[in-house]
Amino acid sequence: MNTALITGTSKGIGLELAKQLLSRNYTVIGIARSPCPIEHDNYFHLTADITSEECPQLLKDIFLDQGFSRLDLLINNAGVGATGCSIETIDVNELRSQFELHCVSAFKMVQVLCPYLDNSKIVNITSRLGSTKLNARGDFNGKGFSYAYRIAKAAQNMLSLCLAGDERLSSNLVISIIPGLLRTDSGSRDAKNTAEEGAQGMLDVIFFAPANGIYHAFGHEAEY
Ligand SMILES: NC(=O)c1ccc[n+]([C@@H]2O[C@H](COP(=O)([O-])OP(=O)(O)OC[C@H]3O[C@@H](n4cnc5c(N)ncnc54)[C@H](OP(=O)(O)O)[C@@H]3O)[C@@H](O)[C@H]2O)c1
């Protein structure tokens, strides 16, 4: 049986990914600060803040206690939106916490789970808002998008590139996925697609992506 670890499984995309992987016979370890509504023999929930200092040790404990010997799929999904769209309104603490959540925590997951990753897939859930190419092109200028979120996702994209170039991890596939606009608590209210539809597209990418890189759940433009 394949094993997946997903961060942010209490709701939204992470919850849907967990449900769909369970239906494909995966064992799923989920993490969130709140409980998860899933009740399934093959679902293990760790109630923790992924930015906390104790999270890596809690993860090590769960792997040892449950006897997991490998991890086929790591999905760094947990994330929240941010405010502050103009220079006067940026909260430095929010900038720090966004970086910590979207980039540093994803890094810590890979670092602590490295011994279990071999011929596995490391997936970072990103956003088109983190694309340096699209930001440089001016796609988001004056449209009210948060500095902190864009910076944090861009940093996460760089993490993906660093991981993809790391010899120690060379047996693994490292992919970033843009979920598209989905109706979740962190998504936009007028999004056309549900988390369920997004998760289906994301799993297609996860199972069929031919190489390291960035992909869109609905096949649209995807650029680092
Ligand atoms: N929805 C979209 O349209 C969209 C578009 C582009 C990118 N994304 C990205 O997709 C990912 C999932 O977003 P979503 O729309 O599913 O958001 P969501 O519905 O708000 O769910 C976010 C999940 O992340 C968890 N989380 C947040 N902070 C956490 C922390 N410190 N420790 C542990 N878990 C934490 C939340 O659980 P707790 O609050 O219980 O901890 C929740 O389970 C995010 O990275 C987001 O940036 C979403």
200-212 pLDDT, tens digit per residue, is 999 999 999 999 9
Whether 115 is in a domain gets the answer yes
* CATH assignment of the domain containing 61: 3.40.50.720
Q: Is 45 helix (H, G, I), strand (E, B) or coil?
A: strand
pLDDT of residue 48: 98
* Cα–Cα distance, 209 to 219 (Å, whole number): 11
Q: Is 117 helix (H, G, I), strand (E, B) or coil?
A: coil
Whether 71 is in a domain gets the answer yes
CA distances from 63 to 38, 47, 85, 146 (A): 20, 15, 41, 36
Tokens of 46: 């760790």
Name the residue range of residue 147's domain: 3-216
Strand order in the sheet with 43-47: 43-47, 27-32, 3-7, 73-76, 121-125, 173-178, 213-216
Whether 224 is in a domain gets the answer no
pLDDT of residue 189: 76
pLDDT of residue 25: 98
Residues of the chain with pLDDT under 70: none
* Cα–Cα distance, 19 to 116 (Å, whole number): 22
Ligand 1 first shell, C-beta below 6 A: 7-14, 31-34, 49-51, 77-80, 101, 125, 127, 179, 181-182, 184-187, 191
Helix/strand/coil percent split, the chain, to 5 = 40, 15, 40
Residue 130 burial (C-beta neighbours within 10 Å; 0-12, 13-18, 19+):
buried
* Cα–Cα distance, 88 to 107 (Å, whole number): 30
Phi–psi pair at 175, nearest 5 degrees: -130, 145
Whether 19 is in a domain gets the answer yes
Cα of 21 from ligand 1 centre, angstroms = 18
Whether 132 is in a domain gets the answer yes
Number of domains composing the chain: 1
> Which residue puts its alpha carbon closest to atom 32 of ligand 1?
49
pLDDT of residue 79: 98
pTM of the model: 0.98
The 10 Å CB-count burial string (b at 16+, else e) for 2-40 is ebbbbbbbbbbbbbbbbbbbbeeebbbbbbbeeebebee
Nearest atom of ligand 1 to the alpha carbon of 153: 47
* Cα–Cα distance, 159 to 153 (Å, whole number): 10
Cα of 128 from ligand 1 centre, angstroms = 15
> Which residue puts its alpha carbon closest to atom 47 of ligand 1?
79
- Kindly report the number of other CB atoms within 10 A of residue 178's CB atom: 26
Cα of 24 from ligand 1 centre, angstroms = 22
Cα of 139 from ligand 1 centre, angstroms = 24
Nearest atom of ligand 1 to the alpha carbon of 101: 31
Whether 221 is in a domain gets the answer no
Whether 131 is in a domain gets the answer yes
pLDDT of residue 190: 82
Whether 162 is in a domain gets the answer yes
